[in-house]
Amino acid sequence: MSSKKKKKVTPVQQEYQDFAKQREVKRPIVKNCIMAFLFGGTICLIGQFISAFYIQTFGFNEKSAGDPTVATLIFLSVLLTGLGVYDHIAQVAGAGTIIPVTGFANAIASAAIEHRSEGYVLGVGGHMFKLAGSVIVFGVVSAFVIGIIKVIFQQVLGGF
């Protein structure tokens, strides 16, 4: 916050802020970054192994192995979330577990598990898509805008 926009605080409020700052837990930023890097890299490495498995076993090429690899990573993420393991991994790994596919699958599955007592439609369906809805909307809108830009470039430049 810039000093121009800084809110004027009373001496009591300033005293409380100083008190709270003294007792605030210091975060190990370097350790958290290293753990996120290692765990995120490990998830990507597992994805690479899964992709290589599909290429070797089923004869996919690199491009066609992508879809079953992503589906497998989503399945594993949801399975580990359902078993309660993913949360323990995330406590250690931090931001390393937020790799888009696995982190998104975990967020949706955990919301569905948390609200299942409210019923399948209003509980699971309604709360599960609170997060997913915004991601899907932004994904669709972004794809639409990029598609329009691509069509314009194809018309103007004669190819893209």
- Nearest CA to 126 out of 140, 111, 105, 109 is that of 111
Residues 146-150, mean pLDDT to the nearest whole number: 94
Say how far apart CA 104 and CA 94 lie, in whole Å.
14
Task: Compute the distance between CA of residue 67 and CA of residue 143 in angstroms, rounded to an integer.
Answer: 18
Cβ atoms of residues 77 and 102 within 8 Å: yes
Mean pLDDT of 152-160: 79
| CA–CA distance, 49 with 55 (Å, rounded to integer) | 10
Q: Is the pLDDT of residue 4 over 70?
A: no
Question: For residue 148, what pLDDT band results from cuts at 50, 70 and 90?
Answer: very high
> Mean per-residue pLDDT for 125-141?
79
pTM: 0.70
pLDDT for the residue 63: 93
